[in-house]
Structure formats: structure tokens, C-alpha cells
């Protein structure tokens, strides 16, 4: 029980210091302190608990950190990456001439736009699918039934999510000169309207020159 009281005190103490991106270690006799900076201090430390191995475990919630970590009473920090900040969410991908871009392409040469989707943990859930492009002439969308790009901003497809292997939505030369941004994504509210707060998307920039 003595050990538990000690751990509880240390955890409270640590919680205060976590706001400053610092750890402070106290020796078992409670007389000396050692401050240890987190790597980095801006990692967004939040939460700490005593681990079964006698060390302390903590989390780093900043989007650029996204780790958990352990710290020993000798002050040794070990960090562990969390797979992604948004594990399990759909991951759309769009490529222009097999590149994430931005790319420059002559209008004389073909432009290939390919999309793919990892449905993550949401496979089978209804969603709006979007393949749209901002062009020098306004918005265009890919009409999947006719395999043609048409002017306007309209949903490409409404239906359940699935793992989509690379799928060609454009393979064409002779595009008018100018800047294009192609988008591919899904939103999890299948209503035919774009719900950005429920959307996952990727984009690629293309500069078409003479």
C-alpha cells in the first residue's frame, strides 16, 4: 500500500508538469527532483498512469507526435508510434500520371488520373463518392455511368464504401492550357451533397502547358 500511495502522489505531480511538457522525477525518499523535457515539449502530453512494470506510461496527443511513451525512474523515456492519428478511417488517393503531384504536363501528352480507396474500418457503410476537378472553366465532375467528365459539381456515385483498387477516371491528351486541381474523396453522409465535416479526400494539382 505504501508503494501505491507513492505512485498516486507522483502521478498527480506529473499531471501538473505535463502541461509544461516536462516530467519531474522524485526519488523514493521524496527529497530530490529531476526535471526531464519531453521530446519534443510541444508533443501535447496528456494523461499519465503507473504501469505494471513499475514505470510510468503517458500519451502525446499532438497531431505531429501521436505517440505513447514510458518513462523510468531513472528518467529514460521510450516512445511508441500510434499507427496513425485517425486509424481506421477511409483513405482516398488520387494520382496524376502516377504522381501525387503537383505535375506539369504538355497538352500534347496524355494526362492520366487514377483514384483508389482504402475503406478502412468503414467498408460497407453508405457514402457519397466524389471525383471532381477545379478547372480554368469551373468545376467538372466525373460521371461514372457514362465515363465522361461533365461541367458542374455533382456527386459521382452514391453507395457503400469498398476497397477500390487503382481506377482510371481520365486518360486524355489535348486538355486546354491552365491549372487544374483534381479531387477524389468520400463523405459519410449519403445525401448527394458534399458534407465536408464528414469527408475524407485527396487532391493533385496539374499545370497543363502548351
Binding site for Ca ion (CB under 5 A): 128, 187, 189, 191, 193, 195
CA torsion angle 66 129 104 210 (round to 10): -160
Nearest approach, Cβ of 198 to Ca ion (angstroms)?
7
Q: 53 or 197: whose CB is closer to Ca ion?
A: 197
Q: 106 or 123: whose CB is closer to Ca ion?
A: 123
Nearest approach, Cβ of 185 to Ca ion (angstroms)?
11
Residue that has been written with the C-alpha cell 486546354 in this structure: 176
Write the DSSP assignment of 151-190 as a string of letters: ES---SEEEE---EEEEEEEEES-PPSEEEEEEEEEESS-
103-106 vs 178-187, strand pairing mode: unpaired
CA torsion angle 8 9 10 16 (round to 10): 110
- Compute CA 29 distance to the chain's CA centroid, rounded to the nearest angstrom: 45
Nearest approach, Cβ of 156 to Ca ion (angstroms)?
12
Strand pairing partners for 206?
103, 180
Distance CA 167, CA 16 (A): 51
Residue 33: phi and psi, rounded to 5, are -130, 145
Q: 60 or 187: whose CB is closer to Ca ion?
A: 187
Q: 150 or 158: whose CB is closer to Ca ion?
A: 158
Nearest approach, Cβ of 85 to Ca ion (angstroms)?
23
Q: 1 or 196: whose CB is closer to Ca ion?
A: 196
138-143 vs 126-135, strand pairing mode: antiparallel
- Collapsed DSSP state (helix, strand, coil) of residue 122: helix
Nearest approach, Cβ of 166 to Ca ion (angstroms)?
24
Nearest approach, Cβ of 187 to Ca ion (angstroms)?
4
Q: 163 or 195: whose CB is closer to Ca ion?
A: 195
Amino acid at each position: 500500500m505504501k508503494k501505491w500511495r507513492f505512485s498516486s502522489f507522483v502521478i498527480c505531480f506529473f499531471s501538473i508538469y505535463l502541461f509544461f511538457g516536462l516530467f519531474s522525477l522524485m526519488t523514493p525518499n521524496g527529497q530530490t527532483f529531476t526535471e526531464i523535457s519531453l521530446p519534443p515539449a510541444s508533443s501535447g502530453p496528456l494523461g499519465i498512469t503507473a504501469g505494471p512494470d513499475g514505470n510510468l506510461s503517458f500519451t502525446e496527443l499532438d497531431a505531429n507526435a501521436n505517440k505513447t511513451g514510458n518513462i523510468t525512474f531513472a528518467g529514460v523515456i521510450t516512445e511508441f508510434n500510434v499507427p496513425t492519428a485517425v486509424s481506421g478511417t477511409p483513405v482516398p488517393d488520387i494520382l496524376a500520371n502516377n504522381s501525387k503531384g503537383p505535375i506539369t504536363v504538355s497538352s500534347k501528352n496524355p494526362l492520366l488520373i487514377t483514384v483508389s480507396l482504402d475503406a478502412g474500418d468503414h467498408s460497407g457503410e453508405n457514402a457519397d463518392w466524389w471525383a471532381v476537378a477545379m478547372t480554368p472553366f469551373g468545376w467538372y465532375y466525373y460521371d461514372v455511368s457514362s465515363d465522361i467528365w461533365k461541367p458542374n459539381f455533382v456527386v459521382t456515385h452514391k453507395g457503400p464504401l469498398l476497397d477500390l483498387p487503382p481506377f482510371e477516371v481520365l486518360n486524355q491528351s489535348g486538355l486546354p492550357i491552365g491549372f487544374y486541381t483534381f479531387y477524389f474523396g468520400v463523405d459519410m453522409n449519403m445525401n448527394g451533397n458534399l458534407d465536408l465535416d464528414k469527408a475524407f479526400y485527396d487532391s493533385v494539382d496539374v499545370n497543363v502547358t502548351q
